[in-house]
Amino acid sequence: MAQVGTLGDIVFKVSEKTVQTFDGLQIESKTNYAKHTRHNKKPLLEFQYNDTDTARFSMYLSAFLGVNPKTMQKKIDKYRKQGKILTLVIGGKKYGTKWVITSHSKGYKRFDNKGNLLIAESKVSLEEYPER
């Protein structure tokens, strides 16, 4: 099994029997400035602060490949509702400092003839949780 990374204790892994991985990681960093208007001139910018980083990615969850999609989606929601502070590690490298899950969009792709969820996609949004 190849462990690609982790978000807290959620493991992103790929093997011939298991696929629970992510796609499209995007991290955004912003800086905030105040604008001071001036008569007949362009406004002056004043640096205010660096905002917290945000990140988003999609997770692919398949019962055909050793993962219970419903259970994993419940775990992600539990972490979001509890405000659990998580670390994001990919390929042994830490991304950012600490993160919290700010939103979780659940996509239900395939069901069996008994209504069991077989394939799901979760879109997860994170926000940096700075140290005090």
> What is d(CA 64, CA 70) in angstroms, rounded to the nearest whole number?
13
d(CA 35, CA 25): 32
Q: Could you count the other beta carbons within 10 Å of the beta carbon of residue 69?
A: 25
- Distance (Å, rounded) from C-alpha 21 to C-alpha 41? 51
Q: What is the pLDDT of residues 39-72, one digit of tens each?
A: 999 999 999 999 999 999 999 888 876 788 999 9
3-state secondary structure of 80: helix
CB atoms within 10 A of CB 48: 10
- Give pLDDT tens digits for 84-114: 999 999 988 999 999 999 999 999 999 999 9
